[in-house]
Amino acid sequence: MKKITLHFLLIICFNISFAQNPIGYTLDYTPGSDKINIELEFDTLNADSIKLIIPRSAPGTYILTNYLAFIDDVVGYTTTGKQLSGMIGDGSFFTFGDSNDLLNKVSYTVDIQKMEIDLLDASTSSKARKDYLGLLGYSVFGFIEGLEAEAINLTINTDPSWPIFSTLRPDTDRQYGTDSFEVENYAVLVDAQYLMGEGVLVIRVEEAQIPLFVAAYAATTNDLEGIGNTGLLSLQKLAYYFGYVPMPHYTLVYEFLKPISARHDYGFNMEHLNSMTAHRDITQEYNPSRDLGTILHHMGHSWMPLRSYGEGYRPFAWQVAPLIETIWLNEGFIWYASFQNILENDGILNWWKSNLDTAPDFIKTKTLKELSLLGSTQYASDFRIGKNLFSRGALLAHDLDVLIQKETKGEKSFKDAMLGLLKWTETNKRAFKYHEIEPIMSESTGVDLSEVWDKWQRPIKH
């Protein structure tokens, strides 16, 4: 009996080990080219069962982006050397026919130049210049459906004279020509940024609580040290406010670009787990000290919602822009914490209120949850929706703060409500449900917050 059990356990261990072989990703780029080449290697699968998924969205983007439009030359490779052409499916994916051929590799190209031309928002697009390639992970990396939780070995190959940088493992001592990265899973791979080329500058900011970097491409000379100092100040303020730093390291990724058209927008920024990306128009004057609020806000997202979030934010549905009920929390709570609590900008309350007052009826007549669902795909495309979402969330936070401080005689504040949500997520390892939010905050502050909560759930205009 013991021998049979041992044999059975060995079979199980072998199968688990086999199933968990890392997925191999290889990215090849030749300077001067408009395209990159990507190859995925994996344990053999039947051709008729494989779908190569191309993301349409990513956490925090609140938009549907057709990245599949920039994918070409999709090929599947069988174990016998046969090549199968990828065929576009009914959604954002490619299939490889209905044969029983065994595939263990797929490859495709991504047209970076076409992506930048077609996507008018610079925050959604990767970029290619003669001395620079800057990639947003989710804009170029696809995955084999069902394997997104597996570990990944990523290799990047480019010209031997080009240094390679990634927010996965930031360092001023960069590898040239080739570098490799061990990545936990697909979500971590695509949340990162990849910068390479002789035009990329990298500095480390000293005296930070964690390794803090600025990585930038500048079509003209810009003040990286100034950005670093502003980033350091932001990190110090956030660490003091929350009482801890959850990121193992952090990178401020900046692109200073000459606009490729008058219609392209370089004003939006994007938060990531351990980094933020910012894009600036070099025809406009830049002063890094004016970015304090921007950096503080986007860095603050590394606490919430990147590490405490509602349903739809994580786990993420890459093929669609998921319907999220809590965008007002994701954005508004950090707006309030960063601009009202940390920067003590009392005047911003009037701006948030004016966003509500001047909103059209189609926004005013929606509940908080309904407006968030609308903003899941249109947060920035009609920024009246985005402004009203973070404004309502920030004003809800303000009313909660007033009540908490009043009831506890200043012993607790809205910060304790946020810390309660962060601790809850860390303990439960899942997204909180909508009906759980208010009880979590009430319990963590010791104050019944239901009346304020219920008030802000209703439409602004009935």
pLDDT digit string, tens, across residues 356-383: 999 999 999 999 999 999 999 999 989 9
How many Cβ atoms from other residues are within 10 Å of residue 9's Cβ? Answer: 10
Pairing, β 152-157 against β 23-28:
parallel
Q: The tokens 């003209």 sit on which residue?
A: 220
Position 20 scores a pLDDT of 66
Distance CA 3, CA 246 (A): 47
Q: Which residues contact 28 (CB under 8 A, 6 or more apart)?
A: 36, 37, 38, 39, 157, 158
What's the length of the chain? 462
The CATH code of domain 22-193 reads: 2.60.40.3650
Position 361 scores a pLDDT of 97
Backbone angles phi, psi at 365, to 5 degrees: -85, 0
Distance CA 406, CA 414 (A): 11
- Give the CA count within 13 Å in the CB-facing half-sphere of 34: 9
Q: Are 183 and 168 in contact (CB under 8 A)?
A: yes
What pTM was estimated for this model as a whole?
0.93
Backbone angles phi, psi at 50, to 5 degrees: -95, 130
Task: Write b or e for each residue in 107-122: b if 16 or more Cβ atoms lie within 10 A of its Cβ, otherwise e.
Answer: bbbbbbeebbeebebb
Instruction: Give kind and range of the element (H or E) at residue 452.
Output: helix 450-457
Distance CA 414, CA 143 (A): 40
In the three-class reduction of DSSP (H, G, I as helix; E, B as strand; rest coil), residue 236 is classed as: helix
- Superfamily name and number for 201-300: Neutral Protease Domain 2 (1.10.390.10)
Position 69 scores a pLDDT of 97
- The domain ranges of the chain are 22-193, 201-300, 327-457
Distance of CA 243 to the CA centre of its chain: 23
Q: What one-letter code names the amino acid at 414?
A: F
> Which residues in the chain show pLDDT less than 70?
1-20
Distance CA 201, CA 298 (A): 21
pLDDT tens digits along 225-240 = 999 999 999 999 999 9
Distance CA 93, CA 86 (A): 9
